[in-house]
Amino acid sequence: MICTFKLPPQPSPTWKVHNESADYARLQDIWVIKSEPQKRMKVEDHHLIVSILKASLMKTLKGRFVLTISWVYLVIGSLTLAAFYMVSEHIIQNFGTKYALKEALLQKSKVITRIDREVALASKLADDSIIKDWCRNEDNPLMKKLAFDQLESYRKVFQDKGYFIALTSSLRYYLYDIKNQKIIETVLSRNAPANKWFFEAIQNVDTFVLNLDYDALINDIKVWINVVIKDTDGQKIGVVGAGIDISDFINHTTVSKEKGISTILIDRTGIIQSHENRMYVEHNANVWHDSKKITLFQLMDDQSSKDRLKSAIENLLSETVEAESFPITIENRKYLAAAAYIRGGIGWYNIVLVDASQVTTIADFLPILAIIVLSLFTVLFIIAVMLNVIILKPLLALTVASEKISRGEYDVSIPALRNDEIGRLTVSFNAMAATVLDTTQNLEGKIHQRTAALSQTNEKLEESQKQILNSIAYARLIQASMLPEPSLFGRYLKDYFILYSPRDVVGGDFYYFRDVGDRFLIAVVDCIGHGVPGAFITMMVNAILNHIVDAICEDDPARILNELNRLIRKTLHHPVSGLRIDSGLEIGLCCCSPLEGKIVFAGAGISLFVLNRDVSEIQGDRRSVGYRRSHEVFQYQNHEVFAEPTTRLYLTTDGILDQAGGAKGFGMGKNVFKNILMSMISTPMSEQESTFKRLLDDYRGGTSQRDDILLLGFSMKDGGKSDVNA
């Protein structure tokens, strides 16, 4: 590479160094510098270049550089400020739209959460055999007493502490008056508009419907959950349900603590079901004809808003989108609206209105404007400082380095960080210094340097290994904290033992125990992998199991496995950098009822071994959980076992069954495992862990452990019955 400079005219009285004509002519000869390592310069030539660069650049570049950058930043700053005011409104609108969509989905979830529990309880009540028997034999005093006892038990768990039931055969209507704590009885009439809800439910509703209505018997407005009671042949024999206090319902579903946000619930025709303005809700509850009820369309000021709402209702009903946003004008105010459809039999729409001017304004961006203005002035100051650092200091460094070389100090190198004229000059200087240094150093010195570098690298490797081992040890503590405490086992189990031996410091096997009222869940889980990868999977699986038990199901092992399969596939099986993770697990899960002496077992690749007078195996399904081949349509099966007082149950992962050993080095297998269990039929379970470990070590001999080992043996208290409050 070749670089040139324009030299000042000769002679020049302003040059303070090397202004003799001989020096100037010599500089002209060496000014064009080729950046080849072989090219050498004399020390005197180097001094001449440095002196001329300092004399010229310090007088011209500094001022020119500052003025140019100042002009550029002033222009850019002006354009930035102008553009800010042009795009700020668009940013606010875009933010408001996204915020409205997010809030619509959140409010939808709140409505579903508020209603789902009551709907589930009412549906359970409608399916109760005692209630159905009474509906078919209404005049039977005994059945009536049993039915009202059952209704009372459900009333206590309804959030509103009330209920109602209406019978098709006699049109009798029973309503529990919460205020006076008594049952009110009346007869429904087809000609009474106030009774329209019952006859419409019998005629049009298949499962349940929500109804905002005023009940004159208790002089109160509620959101009623009307669940149809069906006979075994599908005939509708009544309607039962409960109510939700209108104030509580409005506060929970429509009133927002966020400024500028409100929610409205409507049905498909636009009739308002919930609104922060209670007058609309009370009006709609007190009229029985839909034509007289207030709709959201009536509150709109322009036809375009009505059309957008109608279009959104149709799109959401067709399931083409989960939520839809659009601008809307209601009661002379403009909003950014987002709508979502509440499915699952509810059939309402929640409309979230966001007043973007209250959520965020241009004033919120003023700190950004201040930062922009401040940054413009800061840049000018920094450039002035950096000019000295970038231009003047490198020239001074070249001068100092040249003086060191002239004194015989050849170990000199200046960082060449740029490719401009100064950078090229620095590269040529470093090449000259390196050539001189290379001729003065000997081979022994280079070997010493490389040996020192290698020693330093080894020390870093040892430190890294120590950090990794410390991390794995801490991971073991974290995984151990996930396992259930021994005190939980003692509440339900007559006796138990756990043989838990990961192949590495941490492993992919773990055991699980959850107290679920008068039952408990107990399981062993074999996740794919060993060591740290396997431990990561166990943490994920344990969290998902807890989520399923807390939120979905706690007493149906087969359903728990189905949900576990679905959630693990959803969590792991997605593209990651062009790859797909195929991970899963095997599990044996028991739901034990001590009071009934019953165990419900479901397994995925793991069996339950029952030891009474002999050993029996209850095989789980062969389909593992979570793998891509474990399709979500596959349904795991439950198996029931009734425990005797001496019954012992065992769950084990394949670490024991596949452990190689014996005379031929084969895996232990189920037959050897069952023989070991039979040999311990009289051995107390507290001694079985050490006995089994000794027998396993004898079978394994000198063969190393191939997999994580987990064996869980237990028996329930009192032949399957237990005081769960003990």
| DSSP annotation string for 72-94 | HHHHHHHHHHHHHHHHHHHHHHH
Strands in 709-716's sheet, in edge-to-edge order, are: 493-501, 709-716, 648-652, 608-611, 615-618
Centre a 10 Å sphere on the Cβ of residue 691 and count the other Cβ atoms it contains: 15
CB 414 within 8 A of CB 22: no
Task: Give the C-alpha separation, 663 to 701, whole Å.
Answer: 9
> What pLDDT, on the 0 to 100 scale, is given for residue 12?
42
Task: Give 328's Cβ-side CA count (13 Å radius).
Answer: 29
Task: Give the C-alpha separation, 440 to 438, whole Å.
Answer: 6
- What DSSP element (H or E) covers 367? helix 366-387
Share of the chain above pLDDT 70, in %: 82
Taking 50 as the pLDDT cut, the residues of the chain under it are 1-43, 53-54, 56-58, 577, 719-726
Share of the chain above pLDDT 90, in %: 26
Task: Give the C-alpha separation, 628 to 302, whole Å.
Answer: 52
Where residue 331 falls (left for φ over 0; alpha for ψ -120 to 50; beta otherwise) is left
CB 24 within 8 A of CB 11: yes
CB 228 within 8 A of CB 201: yes
Query: Residue 193 in 3-state DSSP?
Result: helix
> What pLDDT, on the 0 to 100 scale, is given for residue 406?
75
- What DSSP element (H or E) covers 598? strand 598-604
Task: Give the C-alpha separation, 290 to 298, whole Å.
Answer: 13
> What pLDDT, on the 0 to 100 scale, is given for residue 7?
40
Reference 336, options 315, 355, 317, 358; nearest CA is 355
What DSSP line would sit under 27-82, residue for residue?
A: HHHHSS----TT----HHHHHHHHHHHHHHHHHHHHHHHHHHHHHHHHHHHHHHHH
Strand 639-642 vs strand 261-266: parallel, antiparallel, or unpaired? unpaired
In this structure, what are the phi and psi dihedrals at residue 437, rounded to the nearest 5 degrees?
-65, -40
> What pLDDT, on the 0 to 100 scale, is given for residue 464?
79
Helices (H), 574-668: 654-657
This prediction's pTM: 0.41
